[in-house]
Amino acid sequence: MSLTLLLVQGLNGLQLGILLFLIAAGLTLVFGVMDFINLAHGVQYMLGAYLAAYFAAQTGSFWWALALALPAALLVGLVLEVLVFRHLYDRDHLAQVLATFGVILILNDGVKWLFGAAPLQVPMPADLTGGIPIMDGLLYPHYRLAIIGGGLATAGLLWWLVERTRIGMLIRAGATNAPMVAALGIDIRRLFMVVFGFGAMLAGFAGVMAAPILSVEPGMGDNLLILAFVVIVIGGIGSVRGAFLAALLVGLVETLGRSLMPDLLRLLLDASQARQVGAALASMLVYIAMAAILAFRPAGLFPVRAG
């Protein structure tokens, strides 16, 4: 029985890790290539979910919503780049933090204004509503497996883009030394815009996929943003490979910690104490892991930038 629980929680952790990776991938690229700290990346995930909710309500189909929400998320990302972010590349990190914080305030209250504060529901795609039996009487939903599959496929696509194409080569070069890339005659501003739009679309994709299993509400991106930051700090800023491994690690630690910690502590403490201490400890676990990794490797597991 507890083995089943472990399996289910492991899959849930994997699924959280995949969502985190989709958000962290864009963040780490924007960060690595442009040295730009974008707090508004979490609201781009939220926007993806809201766009999915809107288009799903309009078209009645999840797949149409997915197909329409992705370009819309890309468009929003590009508009934000032109209106706000573009003017901040040359400013210090403090200015970037504050201006992108302003974007969060605007978009979080903006969706509240347009869609109301109540959470929205997005129906699951009809062909993925069932589940597969993983043990007697226990079904694991198809849709969650589809998230894992879709996320892994996207990760593969991203690997191919970054490692095997010309634009990927430029992105990697930009993450290592952006001024040098510009000096070699590459239009670095255009590269920035492409990376930015692409990152926004990935975060939007994560939002669309999360929409049917989570409630779509203002501020839903904020907590994931923090976890995504933890992911890219652990993985090493600018490294997609690092982000992937760190995202899975964080997803598993977060999910398994929450489900197992109270049980583990019950061996030492009485039930109610174990529940309280366990909950507190579980919520700290990810950050403790981050601190431990940074204590030994201050630049993360896979540092990109030399020096």
Partner 1 sequence: MRTLAKEAPALLVLGALAAAPWLGFGESWALTLLARAMILAMAAVSLSFLVGGAGLVSLGHAAMLGFGAYAVVILDDAQIVEAWVVLPVAITAAAGFALVTGAVAIRTSGVHFIMITLAFGQMAYFTATSLSGYGGDDGYTLYARTELGGSRILSDRLSFHFICLGALTLTWLVCRMLLASRFGRVLRAVRGNPLRAQALGFSPYPYRLLAYVIAGGLAGAAGFLFANATEFVAPAYIAWQRSGELLFMVILGGIGGLHGALLGAFGFVLLEEVLSHQWEHWRIAFGVLLILAVLYLPGGLAGLPAQLARRRGGG
Site residues (vs partner 1, CB under 8 A): 31, 35, 37, 39, 84, 87-88, 91, 93-95, 97-99, 101-106, 108-110, 112-113, 222-223, 226, 229-230, 232-233, 237, 276, 279-280, 282-284, 287, 290-291, 294-295, 298-299
- Using the 8-state DSSP alphabet, how is residue 117 labeled? S
Q: How far is the CB of 101 from partner 1 (least distance, A)?
A: 4
With respect to partner 1, which residue has the nearer C-beta, 64 or 113?
Answer: 113
The distance of closest approach from Cβ of residue 28 to partner 1 in the complex, given in angstroms and rounded to an integer, is 11
**Cα 296 vs. chain centroid, distance in angstroms?**
25
Looking up tokens 């305030």, which residue turns up? 105
Angle between helices 240-265 and 2-34 (to 10 degrees): 150
Contact of 134 with 76, CB cutoff 8 Å: no
> Given the complex with partner 1, which of 66 and 80 has the nearer CB atom?
80
* Least Cβ distance, residue 111 to partner 1 (angstroms): 10
Note whether 208 and 70 are within 8 A (CB).
yes
DSSP string, 139-174: EEEHHHHHHHHHHHHHHHHHHHHHHHSHHHHHHHHH
Of residues 60 and 116, the one with the C-beta less far from partner 1: 116
Name the H helices within 236-270. Answer: 240-265
In three-state secondary structure terms, 277 is helix
In angstroms, give the least distance from the CB of 189 to partner 1.
18
Nearer to partner 1, 109 or 163 (CB): 109
Work out how close the CB of 30 gets to partner 1 at its nearest, in angstroms, rounded to a whole number: 11
Q: How far is the CB of 166 from partner 1 (least distance, A)?
A: 28
- In the bound state with partner 1, the residue whose beta carbon lies nearer, of 79 and 291, is 291
CB within 8 Å of 150: residues ≥ 6 apart: 209
SS3 132: strand
173 neighbors 180 (Cβ within 8 angstroms): yes
Q: Of the two residues 117 and 132, which places its CB atom closer to partner 1 in the complex?
A: 117
